[in-house]
Amino acid sequence: MPSHGGPDADGVPLHDLSTNANACGPYPPALRAMQAADVRHYPDPACTALTVQLAAWHGVAPARIVPAASGSEFIQRISTAVALNAGPGAAMWQPAHAYGDYARAAQAAGLARAEDPARAALLWACDPSSPLGQPQAGLADLAAALRPGQALVLDMAYEPLRLEGALALDAAALDRVWRLVTPNKALGLTGVRAAYAIAPQGVEAALLARVRALAPSWPLGVHGVALLQGWATLPAHDWLAGCRATLRGWKARQVALLRAAGWRVEPSVANFFVAAGACPESAGGRFDMQSMLIEWRRQGFKLRDCASFGLPGRVRMAVVAPEVQDALMAALKEAA
């Protein structure tokens, strides 16, 4: 099974720091819309009204909006579409540390791994990145260097929760890439699987047609439609602006507590970060991260093991409210 954050065989953690969800959530109007959704009927399979709303929100033509069942579903779909479109021998490129679904989808689609982005038909970017929460180095150059036949997908899962700086792409550069938007983390409703992509301006017609043809008959359920309808509104983004202000203060406090306890915290511009240290050593003189994660989970705290990201011995944790921080520090002290 792929490694993910969130609930596991032991159920929903009392304090889940593993998913990067907005700790200020859920967004109340979206939650009410979930509860009021009419589950007696199918949604419109073409997502007609939603597509028009999302297109108007982003200022693009409706033909460029591609609804998706989730970010992971779109990752699988566009990987297959690019592989079919580019033909045998096509390759995928991704950053050194990246969400594992990019590589899994490429393998399933028959895409080779390229070390050089210039040799790839499909390229991935995520900014702020996962798991580090940092701006992706060279993103603007990557977008500027795109050639016909290449597709760069910018995963924007954490853009609404960026607490510092700004995306290093202007409007013209954004129009050159596929933008993958998954608002459930920002709205604090990760249990609702819903996403959409914005195709590049002047996207190759054959590739866009394949992406659409590979979609399930109903890419979104009624809850997903309600989530995205609530997302593409001014009140939702006013609420998010307030959340970011709160999260900045919470993050500074959480990082200070960890550093005071001897943890090493990596720089991050998002509502999450990677940290290491202050773990007891096993008899062999090495950090026993798995044992520590199990002990923290027993105490009700789930952190994300970064081994699957190529960062063994480190954890990724979301920013949480001060009362949860205090409980976390007590649990870390007890486990140590």
Read off the pLDDT of residues 69-127 as tens digits, 9 standing for 90 and up: 999 999 999 999 999 999 999 999 999 999 999 999 999 999 999 999 999 999 999 99
Q: What average pLDDT does range 276-291 have in this prediction? A: 59
What residue spans of 59-184 are helical by DSSP H?
71-86, 100-109, 139-144, 171-174
Calpha distance 150→145 (Å, rounded): 10
Average pLDDT, the chain: 92
Q: What's the mean pLDDT in 169-192?
A: 97
Model confidence at 2, pLDDT cuts 50, 70, 90, reads: low
Evaluate if residue 294 carries a pLDDT over 90: no
* Banded model confidence at residue 253, pLDDT cuts 50, 70, 90: very high
pLDDT at 124: 98
Q: Which pLDDT value is given to residue 4?
A: 66
pLDDT at 309: 86
pTM given for the model: 0.93
| Amino acid identity for residue 218 in this structure | W
Question: CB 115: neighbour CB atoms within 10 A?
Answer: 8
State what percent of residues in the chain have pLDDT above 70: 94
